[in-house]
Amino acid sequence: MKKFSDFPLIREKNDLLRFKLFRSTFGNVKFLNILRASLLLLTLYAIFFGLIHPDRKENIFTTALFWGLFWPFFMVITLPTVGNFFCMVCPHGFLSRKLSKSGLKLNLPKGLKNPYIGLGLNIILYWFILYTFPGVLREPLVTALFFLFFTLLAIAVSLIFTNGAYCRYFCPIGRVAPAFARVGFTWLSTYNRELCDSKCDKPDCAFACPYKLSPLKFDKNNSMDTCTLCMECANSCEGVKLSVRRWSHSLLKKIPKPQSWEVWVYIILLAVITITMRFHHGLGHSPVKESLPWVIIGKWLQETTGIGKPFDFVGLTALIMALLITLSLVLGGFYLTSRIINRSYRDVFLNLGYALAPLMIVGSLSHVCHFFFTHYYHEVINGFAQAFFLDFRVEPLADRKDTWLRIFNIFPFIAAFWSGYIMWRRLGFFEVKGFKKIVSYILSSGIIIFYLGLTVFILYVRYFGHTGHHH
Ligand code: SF4
Ligand code: SF4
């Protein structure tokens, strides 16, 4: 039987696995498993720490680890840069792959093979709670219970069902991270497909994949599906490569089998995270606060129903309004575009929807960078010092009033132009020209234009607001 390894391989210049140091670390399952196991221990310890120290005053570690380190650094920073690094080192993915080897290995029932289960859990258990019960997720006990729930879910699902079920269908990040990883510049695939097709009798890479994906097809499909970068495939055959490509390269090319779940991830999270955040937090403390529609409606609902703290109608109204605005701008814009260019609505949705990928994830960088200097840095360091009984403390790197922090306001603009550029390129697939192209471009970019306008408005009220207060 001929194998890929029978043919000497000269690695391409842009293949990260070309570097020995990379091959023996992030290209190496053993190294990764040690890293994942350490992160698992850290996760379990942080959960335990949150359960025995439920109070905010005596526990900064639990929240700092999850919301100050894992979420901003592994998600927001890595996805638009190096890609799906989060899943690569994820302790739950590690646990799930290990456990399912000795579990019942049942096939997941058809009804549960639904890409929206994980996304739904993400929105209901995190974002919905964040807006409607403000502050609750900052509590160490709640944070610990939140991660305990997902740890137990990962264990249960992996013990019952075949490999990969947890990551692919239940994990709240499982669909989100691979979809946003398209924005970054790395790409996993295999060398020379011809050689793989004709000379390789048994595709080791596909057999090795715990998620039953075939890296052989990643290039052809212009999709890595739900690849978690676990690197099992790369360790089974040297024909696998992890290349550095042009930023967002996969979004600039046609996607032969576009997936509606991917597009829905972009749209829903854009509404639930970015637009709601801007409504609620971006403007919620500004001088115009009292005249915002969601504040007026929210307060009215609160008075009429008599339901008050800890439930927040203002947050809920902001969330619903953001969803309605985003959905009407995106779906309405795509519908009108489909009429103008004479293509089916589905075609337009599946092709142009991918242009929205950078909007949420690149825009979120401004918040995360800002918070690194004002919150995350000292909270994470002091949290670790507290959890491991070390006797030192560090101060915040910056005060939120520091004017130089304003430099991070650049990210939402980069996000909008990035998405706008991809939209223009993807509209080109439909071979529309001239005036039609410009009109359909403006219509299909409605949400990008709205996002830009909202960003400018927030900056305006924040820095030049008429009362002169800076919050
Ligand atoms: S899909 Fe979820 S559990 Fe699986 S590796 Fe990614 S983050 Fe971890
Ligand atoms: S293709 Fe499969 S085996 Fe390879 S890195 Fe992705 S998830 Fe892991």
- Say how many Å lie between the CA of residue 284 and the centre of ligand 1: 33
The mean pLDDT of the chain is 93
* Span 449-465, average pLDDT: 92
Which of 161, 167, 168 is the best mutation target for the ligand 1 pocket, counting ligand atoms within 8 Å of the beta carbon and taking the most? 167
Let me know: does 64 contact 118? Beta carbons within 8 Å. no
Start-to-end C-alpha separation, the chain: 69
pLDDT value for 21: 97
* Span 203-210, average pLDDT: 90
For residue 160, give every residue at least 6 positions away whose Cβ sits within 8 Å of its Cβ, in sequence order, or none: 103, 104, 106
* Span 112-118, average pLDDT: 96
pLDDT tier at 6 (50, 70, 90 boundaries)? low
Return the exposure string of 98-123: e unless at least 16 CB atoms fall within 10 Å of the residue's CB, then b: bbbeebeeeebeeeeeebebbbebbb
Residue nearest to atom 8 of ligand 2 (CA): 230
pLDDT value for 422: 98
Whether 208 is in the pocket of ligand 2, judged by its Cβ within 6 Å, is: yes
State which ligand 2 atom lies nearest to the alpha carbon of 214: 1
41 CB burial (10 A radius; 0-12, 13-18, 19+): exposed
State which ligand 1 atom lies nearest to the alpha carbon of 168: 1
d(Cα 64, Cα 46) in Å, to the nearest integer? 10
- Say how many Å lie between the CA of residue 241 and the centre of ligand 1: 21
Q: Is the pLDDT score of 302 beyond 60?
A: yes
Residue nearest to atom 4 of ligand 2 (CA): 233
Which of 29, 168, 232 is the best mutation target for the ligand 2 pocket, counting ligand atoms within 8 Å of the beta carbon and taking the most? 232
Q: Is the pLDDT score of 465 beyond 80?
A: no
State what percent of residues in the chain have pLDDT above 70: 95
* Span 210-233, average pLDDT: 95
Which of 89, 187, 216, 227 is the best mutation target for the ligand 2 pocket, counting ligand atoms within 8 Å of the beta carbon and taking the most? 227
- Say how many Å lie between the CA of residue 2 and the centre of ligand 1: 34
In this structure, the dihedral spanned by the alpha carbons of residues 302, 306, 307 and 309, taken in order and rounded to 10 degrees, is 80
- Written as one string, the DSSP assignment of 386-399 is HHTT-------SS-
Ligand nearest to the CA of 150: 1
pLDDT value for 470: 46
Residue nearest to atom 2 of ligand 2 (CA): 209
The shares of helix, strand and coil residues in the chain, as percent rounded to the nearest 5, are 70, 5, 30
Show the CA angle centred on residue 155, arms to residues 151 and 159, nearest 5°: 170
Let me know: does 334 contact 349? Beta carbons within 8 Å. yes
Q: Which of 112-126, 226-240, 283-297, 311-325 has the lowest mean pLDDT?
A: 283-297
Whether 209 is in the pocket of ligand 2, judged by its Cβ within 6 Å, is: yes
pLDDT tier at 445 (50, 70, 90 boundaries)? very high
Whether 232 is in the pocket of ligand 2, judged by its Cβ within 6 Å, is: yes
Residue nearest to atom 6 of ligand 1 (CA): 87
d(Cα 42, Cα 92) in Å, to the nearest integer? 12
Whether 146 is in the pocket of ligand 2, judged by its Cβ within 6 Å, is: no
Q: Which of 6-15, 214-223, 410-419 has the lowest mean pLDDT?
A: 6-15
Which of 88, 211, 226 is the best mutation target for the ligand 2 pocket, counting ligand atoms within 8 Å of the beta carbon and taking the most? 211
* Span 454-460, average pLDDT: 95
pLDDT value for 238: 87
Q: How far is CA 275 from CA 269, 338, 405, in A?
A: 9, 25, 21
Q: How far is CA 393 from CA 69, 376, 386, 429, in A?
A: 17, 13, 9, 55
Return the residue matching tokens 């030049």. 464
Which of 216, 233, 242 is the best mutation target for the ligand 2 pocket, counting ligand atoms within 8 Å of the beta carbon and taking the most? 233
Ligand nearest to the CA of 178: 1
Let me know: does 126 contact 142? Beta carbons within 8 Å. no
- H or E segment to which residue 51 belongs: helix 29-52
Query: If we measure between CA atoms, which residue out of 425, 440, 448, 417 comes closest to residue 254?
Result: 425
Beta bridge partners of 106: 161
Ligand nearest to the CA of 186: 2
Let me know: does 345 contact 338? Beta carbons within 8 Å. yes
pLDDT value for 471: 42
Query: If we measure between CA atoms, which residue out of 158, 32, 150 comes closest to residue 101?
Result: 158
Return the residue matching tokens 């046609």. 254
Ligand 1: residues with CB < 6 A are: 86-87, 90, 92-93, 96, 166-167, 171, 173-174, 177, 228
198 CB burial (10 A radius; 0-12, 13-18, 19+): exposed
Task: For 342-374, write each residue's pLDDT tens digit.
Answer: 999 999 999 999 999 999 999 999 999 999 999
pLDDT value for 204: 85
Task: For 240-266, write each residue's pLDDT tens digit.
Answer: 999 999 999 999 999 999 999 999 999
Q: Is 244 helix (H, G, I), strand (E, B) or coil?
A: strand
User: Which pair of structure tokens corresponds to residue 268?
Assistant: 């829903």
Query: If we measure between CA atoms, which residue out of 249, 327, 288 comes closest to residue 458?
Result: 288
Residue 274 DSSP label: I
pLDDT value for 199: 61
Q: Is the pLDDT score of 202 beyond 90?
A: no
pLDDT tier at 197 (50, 70, 90 boundaries)? low
Let me know: does 380 contact 64? Beta carbons within 8 Å. yes
pLDDT value for 73: 83
Whether 206 is in the pocket of ligand 2, judged by its Cβ within 6 Å, is: no
- Say how many Å lie between the CA of residue 227 and the centre of ligand 2: 5
Query: If we measure between CA atoms, which residue out of 142, 166, 155, 175 comes closest to residue 67?
Result: 142
pLDDT value for 10: 87
In 163-309, beta strands by DSSP E: 186-190, 240-244
- Say how many Å lie between the CA of residue 289 and the centre of ligand 1: 38
* Span 5-15, average pLDDT: 82
Task: For 367-426, write each residue's pLDDT tens digit.
Answer: 999 999 999 999 999 999 999 999 999 999 999 889 999 999 999 999 999 999 999 999
Give the 3-state secondary structure of 88-128. Answer: HHCHHHHHHHHHHCCCCCECCCHHHCCCHHHHHHHHHHHHH
pLDDT value for 4: 58
Ligand nearest to the CA of 177: 1
pLDDT value for 75: 85
Return the residue matching tokens 């970015």. 274
d(Cα 445, Cα 438) in Å, to the nearest integer? 10
pLDDT tier at 468 (50, 70, 90 boundaries)? very low
Q: Where are the alpha helices (DSSP H) in 342-445?
A: 345-352, 357-371, 377-387, 410-427, 434-444
Let me know: does 444 contact 337? Beta carbons within 8 Å. yes
Residue nearest to atom 3 of ligand 1 (CA): 93
